[in-house]
């Protein structure tokens, strides 16, 4: 006998069914009647159980259609010409990389100093700089440079990576785009590297607080198997962390905790007007000369 219990939410399934025009209002009323049949006679329970089984089958069908519709939404986006046509993909990329027209990636020349090569022996999208005489395409000095993978595949992988809320794996790219796992792994590493933040500005500022501390992790190569407590830190990896309250966190692998190894990291990553909180280690005492420390 099927026990409906609270395993399904008819309201949620009615909303989903409405998207497919299934007229699910009667189903909702029947589900309520089936739930109300609990505690009645055996005959009523058996009738409710049979009806509930039919309802569950229908609900599973609705859920399957709902999942397929979500999948079709993603796949419909991949039907954009930039994911299927190499020329459209190149034109789309040129419009983003060169919004004001072609720019030579070698010397920076623009405008009349750049000529598009449209001869029969030239591949599409090739330009030549009249200043440095170098030829280039829109992929030069980008993550797409010197890749035999079609640009359409690159853009599709980029779309899937940025459109996914929790990221996407190389295996999923391999299955979705029909490319080898080795190629998918290569593409994802390049794209993630391009998305990485670089040239970070110093942390903190006026009225902000940054906490600084260090710890030791693991062992260096060649370290003895056994070290006495308190006497083996020279054989371990030193990691320094800068934590801005209400902000970002940065970690650094430093060679040690001497003043010459710690202070340059702090000066390069923390603004001078920042309040810095540390422990009483001797290598932090000179911070008062450069940074407001407590």
Give 104's contacts (C-beta < 8 A, 6+ positions apart). 110, 113, 114, 127, 129, 131, 132, 134, 136
Written as tens digits, the pLDDT of the chain (294 aa) is: 333 333 444 445 444 444 444 444 555 555 555 555 545 555 555 555 555 565 566 556 655 654 555 445 555 667 888 898 999 999 999 999 999 889 999 888 888 889 999 888 888 889 999 989 999 999 998 889 989 999 999 999 999 998 887 888 999 999 989 999 999 999 999 998 888 766 677 888 888 899 998 888 877 777 676 665 555 567 778 888 999 998 888 888 888 877 788 888 888 888 888 888 888 887 787 777 666 555
Give the three-state DSSP class for 44: helix
Token code pair at residue 21: 């025009």
Domain boundary at 77, 110, 127, which? Answer: 77
Evaluate whether residue 109 is within a structural domain.
no
Evaluate whether residue 247 is within a structural domain.
yes
Find the domain containing 63 and state its range: 10-77
CA atoms within 13 A on the CB side of 241: 12
Other CB atoms closer than 10 Å to residue 178's CB: what's the count? 9
Angle of helix 181-195 relative to helix 151-163, nearest 10 degrees, comes to: 60
Give the three-state DSSP class for 136: strand
Token code pair at residue 282: 């001797």
pTM, rounded to two decimals: 0.49
Give the phi and the psi of residue 85 in degrees, each rounded to 5: -115, 120
Evaluate whether residue 156 is within a structural domain.
no
Q: How many domains does the chain have?
A: 2
Domain boundary at 77, 106, 124, which? Answer: 77
Evaluate whether residue 289 is within a structural domain.
yes
* Distance separating alpha carbons of residues 50 and 61, to the nearest angstrom: 17
Evaluate whether residue 188 is within a structural domain.
no
Let me know: does 270 contact 276? Beta carbons within 8 Å: yes
Token code pair at residue 77: 């986006």
Closest C-alpha to 130, from 150, 104, 99, 159: 104
Q: Which residue has the tokens 């039919």?
A: 54
Element (H, E) at 250: strand 249-254
At 91-145, the pLDDT tens digits run 999 999 999 889 999 888 888 889 999 888 888 889 999 989 999 999 998 889 9
Evaluate whether residue 111 is within a structural domain.
no
Evaluate whether residue 65 is within a structural domain.
yes
Domain boundary at 52, 77, 102, which? Answer: 77
At 80-97, the pLDDT tens digits run 888 989 999 999 999 999
* Distance separating alpha carbons of residues 24 and 142, to the nearest angstrom: 52
């Amino acid at each position: 006998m099927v026990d409906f219990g609270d395993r399904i939410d008819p309201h949620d399934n009615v909303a989903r069914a409405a998207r497919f025009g299934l007229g699910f209002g009667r189903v909702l009323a029947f589900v309520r009647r089936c739930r109300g049949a609990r505690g009645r006679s055996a005959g009523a329970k058996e009738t409710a159980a049979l009806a509930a089984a039919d309802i569950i089958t229908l609900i599973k069908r609705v859920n399957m259609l709902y999942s397929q519709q979500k999948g079709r939404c993603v796949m419909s986006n991949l039907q954009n010409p930039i994911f299927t046509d190499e020329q459209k993909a190149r034109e789309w990329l040129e419009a983003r990389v060169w919004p004001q027209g072609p720019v030579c990636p070698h010397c920076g020349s623009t405008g009349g100093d750049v000529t598009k090569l449209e001869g029969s022996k030239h591949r599409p999208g090739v330009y030549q700089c009249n200043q440095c005489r170098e030829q280039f395409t829109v992929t030069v000095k980008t993550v797409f440079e010197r890749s035999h993978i079609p640009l359409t595949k690159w853009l599709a992988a980029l779309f899937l990576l940025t459109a996914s809320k929790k990221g996407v794996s190389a295996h999923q790219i391999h299955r979705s785009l029909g490319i080898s796992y080795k190629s998918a792994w290569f593409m994802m590493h390049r794209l993630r590297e391009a998305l990485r933040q670089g040239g970070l500005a110093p942390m903190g500022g006026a009225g902000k607080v940054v906490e600084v501390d260090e710890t030791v992790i693991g062992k260096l190569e060649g370290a003895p198997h056994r070290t006495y407590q308190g006497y083996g830190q020279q054989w371990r990896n030193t990691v320094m962390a800068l934590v801005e309250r209400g902000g970002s966190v940065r970690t650094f692998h430093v060679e040690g905790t001497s003043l010459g190894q710690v202070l340059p990291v702090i000066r390069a990553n923390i603004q001078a007007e920042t309040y810095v909180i540390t422990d009483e280690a001797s290598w932090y005492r000179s911070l008062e000369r450069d940074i407001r420390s407590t």
